[in-house]
Structure 1
Amino acid sequence: MTAARRRAVIPLTVVSVLVASAALAGCGSQRDDDVYTVLNSSTDDSYHGWDAATLKRCSARLGITIEQQSVPASQVMTKSLRMASSKSLPDVIQFDASEMPTFAEAGGLVDLKSLGLSTQDIPKGIVDFGSYKGTYYGAARTVNTLALFYNKDVLKKAGLAVPTTWAEMQETAKKLTRGKQYGIALSAGGAEDGVFQFTPFMWSNGGDETDLDSKQVADALDYWKGLLKDGSLSKSTVNWTQADVNDQFMAGNAAMMINGPWQVETLNTKKSLHWGIAQIPVPRAGDDSVGPLGGAVLTVPRTDDTAREKTAAKIIGCMSSEKEQITYARNSWMVPANEKAAAVWRKEVPELDALADQVATARSRTAKVGAGWSSVSLALQSAFQSALTGQNSADALKKAQARATSGN
């Protein structure tokens, strides 16, 4: 389950009209008073099973029946809008955190704090991750981010240490590039995967999504171009998803990769592969490695059925309890959102300790631009495709900023 997948980009005006009509009319379709529905993107067999087990435990705990309805990640927003238009919204919607602000902006979500859910023991960055304009709409069970994965055997054989700075990573990648093996693999494809992977380089270098044509952002993109020029990064990177990157790493075609914990289950199927994980290298020694917070948040859609909304909040409270977070994190290799749960998790999986450190400095993609993130993402995707195939980075990013500003 990747943290960043293709999603439909829907104009805010369309969302607003459909959501407003649902809220004004209330929940018009026939409902079973004792059956509650959670809409999510857990179409993968493993995730669907884990969520089914969670909902079974929460059903017993709350004395109700909770069912899940799963659709591909790209369809969660469109499905939610269709259900809003037909007055048949589910009780809980699990949105990718980057999509949640669009529904919140349209007035379609209920403030979770008003329903009695607390943010105690949740780090501020993760509270912000589930918030829009200061209101807490989405509770995360677990979060993820990106890290540097490396082949321990390959680095050891070459006598090289795990890089911690951009210069070290470029030098190490160059030395590890031989035959069919590239030094590093990453996703720079024309989709959210590529943008997700670019943010640690942009943010750690002082760049900002509100100023895409700044020197800091251009320097980060030029760093990627430098890896391509060295031959350390495959030209196919412009077409790779994060799953493709993982495939290359597992096949021995890359000595290092930028990726996330959702790949761990697959990595562990290859027993001969000895991999390690570290924080993503930074421009200069001493800089913070700032990656993107990824994952989903549980929300209560506004139906003006107060009783069901309160029960929906109890469902979220159960699903995001410390015990359930730890169970879900064990299965998915993600990091629990709750600090106490995360401390337990760290002890259980010390090999992913660096990931927890990366999460501690990570931030939300929508923290500054809210529902405008989709425009920023599309603009950056276009810039990657242009710059990595020959265009000057500054020129590509100047066009990207104009596109992001216009919202087209």
Structure 2
Amino acid sequence: MTVSLCSCAGCRKKEETKAKEKETIELWHYWDIPDNQRHLEELVEQFNKMQEDIEIEVSYIPDEDFKKQLALAMSEEKMPDIAVVDSSDFQFLHHMKAFADLTDAIPELKEYNEKALEPCTIDGRIYGQPFGVNCTGMFYNKKLLEENGCEVPESWEEFQETAAKISNEDVKGFAITALQTEESMYEFLPILWSMGGDVYRIAEENSKKAFLLLDQMEKEGSLSLQSISLTMGDLTNQFLKGKIGIMFNSSMAIDSIREGNPDLEFGVAPIPGGETSVSVAGGEILAVAENEKKEYAIRFLKFLADKDRMKEYIDAFGFLAPRQDIMEQQFAEDPEKRTFIKMYKAAGIREISPEWPRISLTLSDTLRQILVEEEDPQTILNKSAEKIEKIGAEK
């Protein structure tokens, strides 16, 4: 009888232990900004503590490896339960293996900005939840411009002249990311679009102007050839150290600049182009795997979608809120960050087709080839135009 009672007590203890076990949800992201990593971990910790049956585990994958690793995991049926996906990659990855349909599961999505939802909407259904949005702006070193008698450039002619005037042995007027990553398109497309260029007609005159502008600036010594190996994070570090005078970047760079060099006086303005000045809309989207854990993952997304909670965390990330009503209230006492709200309204969306990543890689490699002068620019553009035409024909 004693043995029986002990045995039953042991069973109850095992059952209680089993009942307390949490369902583990894996989340992948590629944010390399330390503050963003910390803020994400804080949100996850808050969620993990507020309920007893779900445990979110966060994994950081470097940006240059993220898309490749995620695509491989999806093909092997090992996708993380939640993935932070760049908006420009969303439909490419969804085309490989469909993400979970969130349309009816998260009612708050109906309040999100249409521009934020467009990359993750297919045939009227929503397959992702925008986390935050952003756009490209021009950062400039106020002291460098003032010392050289320069105004903030508003046209490409003024931009080229300003970059030349503020360049010297220690400082390059401008640098742009020219790696084969989506970051390069985030910075280059505003130049291409504002000049009337088109990604499907890059060998034509208007598109050619955008490539030749940067090529000429490199020859003049006002554009750093280091661009072919710089990430946007590297650009930020070069800018805050006073090594470059102008860069194109997102609002997320502002806190890094202020923390890295509190004494640096800088401004933010629309990217040059006069009446046709344009920016590129970007941002991250939370994608949920279509698996047996999706209901648990969706609970975390609903936690993030709560309007009051979003108001609390979104500013800390440096993102613009994917909800227009919250975005309008952001950064009331921060003019540099608030500038991005107006720019986002006029920002264009990169192509969101499954073919875009291949087009993007071709464009960024074209820019690299022109800057390092592998061949005559027109020859490079003609060859790249043929590649892009073939990709487009596969739609």
TM-score by length of 2: 0.83
Determine whether 1:386 maps to 2:369. yes
Aligned residues: 369
Determine whether 1:356 maps to 2:356. no
Partner of 2:141: 151
| Change in CA separation of 1:396 and 1:117 when aligned onto 2, cut-off 3 Å | farther
Determine whether 1:316 maps to 2:304. no
1:345-397 CA-to-partner distances (Å, cap 9, x unmatched) read: 13142221222222222233233xx1111211221122112222334433322
Q: Percent of aligned pairs with the same residue?
A: 21
- Is contact 2:239–2:245 with CA below 8 Å preserved after alignment? yes
Partner of 2:98: 108
Cα distance in 2 for residues equivalent to 1:323 and 1:348: 20
| Change in CA separation of 1:186 and 1:45 when aligned onto 2, cut-off 3 Å | closer
1:92-142 CA-to-partner distances (Å, cap 9, x unmatched) read: 222222222122113421222132444334322211133345542221121
Cα distance in 1 for residues equivalent to 2:232 and 2:22: 42
| Change in CA separation of 1:190 and 1:103 when aligned onto 2, cut-off 3 Å | closer
- Shifted more, 106-115 versus 273-282: the winner is 106-115
- Shifted more, 85-94 versus 339-348: the winner is 85-94
What residue identity is the alignment partner of 1:128? E
Residue 346 of structure 1 aligns to a residue in which SS?
A: coil
Q: 1:404 pairs with 375, 388, 393, which one? A: 388
- Is contact 1:41–1:76 with CA below 8 Å preserved after alignment? yes
- Is contact 1:91–1:300 with CA below 8 Å preserved after alignment? yes
Partner of 1:56: 45
Instruction: Give 1:273 shift.
Output: 0.8
Instruction: Give 1:199 shift.
Output: 0.9
Matches within 5 A, 1:166-185: 166-185=156-175
What residue identity is the alignment partner of 1:301? A
| Change in CA separation of 1:64 and 1:206 when aligned onto 2, cut-off 3 Å | farther
- Is contact 2:26–2:59 with CA below 8 Å preserved after alignment? no
Cα distance in 1 for residues equivalent to 2:145 and 2:311: 33
Partner of 2:261: 270
Q: 1:240 pairs with 230, 233, 237, which one? A: 230
- Is contact 1:129–1:293 with CA below 8 Å preserved after alignment? no
What residue identity is the alignment partner of 2:386? A
Q: 2:207 pairs with 205, 210, 217, which one? A: 217
Instruction: Give 1:149 shift.
Output: 0.5
Cα distance in 2 for residues equivalent to 1:100 and 1:252: 35
Cα distance in 1 for residues equivalent to 2:232 and 2:159: 19
Question: Which one has a bigger Cα radius of gyration?
Answer: 2
- Is contact 2:145–2:152 with CA below 8 Å preserved after alignment? yes
Q: 1:124 pairs with 105, 114, 139, which one? A: 114
| Change in CA separation of 1:59 and 1:364 when aligned onto 2, cut-off 3 Å | farther
TM-score by length of 1: 0.81
| Change in CA separation of 1:399 and 1:321 when aligned onto 2, cut-off 3 Å | farther
Cα distance in 1 for residues equivalent to 2:145 and 2:334: 22
- Is contact 1:115–1:313 with CA below 8 Å preserved after alignment? yes
| Change in CA separation of 1:348 and 1:58 when aligned onto 2, cut-off 3 Å | farther
Residue 118 of structure 2 aligns to a residue in which SS?
A: helix
Cα distance in 2 for residues equivalent to 1:239 and 1:213: 24
Partner of 2:5: none
| Change in CA separation of 1:34 and 1:229 when aligned onto 2, cut-off 3 Å | closer
Partner of 1:329: 314
Instruction: Give 1:330 shift.
Output: 2.3
Determine whether 1:280 maps to 2:267. no
